[in-house]
Amino acid sequence: MVENVIVDLSHWKQDIDFKLAKEDGILALKDRKNDLLDKLFANWQNKQRQLLYICISLLIVSILLIYSHLKSFAQLAGIITSIFT
């Protein structure tokens, strides 16, 4: 019997009997596919934050460009409120 074994299940296609694996002395079952998903999710969260900052920046620049072509702040406020109503 082997003890303290870690088994990589990246390419395993069959169902896993966890009780039998524990009885056989397998310490951990590692699936690298989940590691990849975790990394992708972490990268997506970072990209999502960056995308939010870019969108906010573009919104501010757009508002400033619109304001530069208007005669008053009241006109700008009217345009912004019409967008959200």
Q: How many CB atoms lie within 10 A of CB 13?
A: 5
CB 6 within 8 A of CB 28: yes
The Cα 11–Cα 14 span in angstroms is 9
Structure confidence at residue 57 (pLDDT): 92
pTM of the model: 0.38
Structure confidence at residue 11 (pLDDT): 67
CB 70 within 8 A of CB 76: yes
| Count of helices and strands (H, E) across the chain | 3, 2
CA 51 to mean position of chain CA atoms: 11
**For 5-63, what is each residue's pLDDT tens digit?**
666 666 677 777 778 777 777 766 666 656 666 666 677 777 888 889 999 999 998 88
